[in-house]
Amino acid sequence: MCYDVKTKLESQLRRAKRFNDQEWINELEENLLPYKDHPYFHVSGYSHPKLLIYTNDKPYVPSVSIWGLVPHWIKNNDQKLKFWNNTLNARGETIFEKPSFRDSAKNKRCILHLDGFYEHHHFKGKTYPFFIAGKDKKPLSIAGLWSEWVDKETGEVLNTFSIVTTKGNNLMAKIHNNPKLSEPRMPVILSEEMEDLWLEPINSKNKRKEIIELIQSCPENKLEAHTVRKLRGKEAVGNGTEASTYFEYKELEVA
């Protein structure tokens, strides 16, 4: 699962900076000034925040997109609101079969960049949040699906996305131990070499197979994790710089 993340504007612009000249990057940042006022040190997908994604249509130019994919066939705003929280994540093993995701899996894949993500560990009836990030301190490239939905009442076009997940690696198996789930999960993390392949069109069975093969666990030696302050409830740290800072729980035992 991946419902809580950390991401700064600079991190979200990582792909744009790799493929575009500095003059254009400066112009882009200027256009995103209102967006820059809200860095996400911790944000929950359930609040449906706006993040930057790179789509197969615009692979080098970021688009502002709302977290929580809304398929094109959703009829109205009421149905969207009832549906929205169920599409924050897309289970990678079934994206080509599930009605919510299959059109996007075939035609609308995207990438987003995160500084890291949060997951909760269960221990003796309590939950403890962990922050997971790359050992190299670089932003993580995350596989996603996107969609455009037209509100027929207002004519507004919403660009929305979902994070693709897969079975958790050994590190996540130690952390993501929710007894209600059959297995640990984690977002699909792409290497730079895998990014372009994820965005390529599917025009053959072999290409679809290549895309499916990208849906795999990131090697645990590429990631690091530590406990952080509470993210929910009365003691929640909120969207502060300390959200991802190490915090010790003396009673916690993680093998």
Mean pLDDT calculated for residue range 179-203: 94
Helices 205-213, 192-199: inter-axial angle, 10-degree rounding: 140
Look up residue 139 and give its two tokens: 């932003």
Cα separation, 172 vs 10, whole angstroms: 26
Here the tokens at position 152 are: 């027929």
Q: How many domains, the chain?
A: 1
CA distances from 100 to 130, 182, 201 (A): 29, 22, 19
Over residues 201-227, the mean pLDDT reads: 95
Residue 77 maps to a domain: yes
Domain for residue 75, yes or no? yes
**Model confidence at 37, in pLDDT bands (50, 70, 90)?**
low
In a domain? residue 175: no
Q: What pLDDT was estimated at residue 204?
A: 92
Distances (CA, A) of 3 to 14, 23, 118: 21, 35, 8
Strands 189-190 and 185-187: unpaired
Expressed as residue numbers, the domain containing 91 is: 4-118+138-168+187-221
- What is the bridge-based pairing of β-strands 157-167 and 89-91? parallel
pTM of the model: 0.95
Q: Is residue 19 in some structural domain? A: yes
Helix boundaries (H) for the chain:
9-12, 14-19, 22-31, 33-36, 77-83, 102-107, 170-175, 192-199, 205-213
Q: How far is the C-alpha of 168 from the C-alpha of 171, rounded, in Å? A: 8
Q: Is residue 177 part of a domain?
A: no
- Higher-pLDDT residue of 172, 34: 172
As a whole number of angstroms, the distance between CA 99 and CA 104 comes to 10
Asked if residue 106 belongs to a domain, the reply is: yes
The answer to whether position 231 is within a domain reads no
Q: What is the CATH number of the domain that holds 67?
A: 3.90.1680.10
The least confident of 23-32, 87-96, 218-227, 232-241 is: 23-32
Alpha-carbon gap, residue 153 to 103, rounded angstroms: 24
Res 27 pLDDT > 80: yes
Instruction: State percent of the chain over pLDDT 70.
Output: 96
160 domain residue, yes or no: yes
Mean model confidence pLDDT for the chain: 93
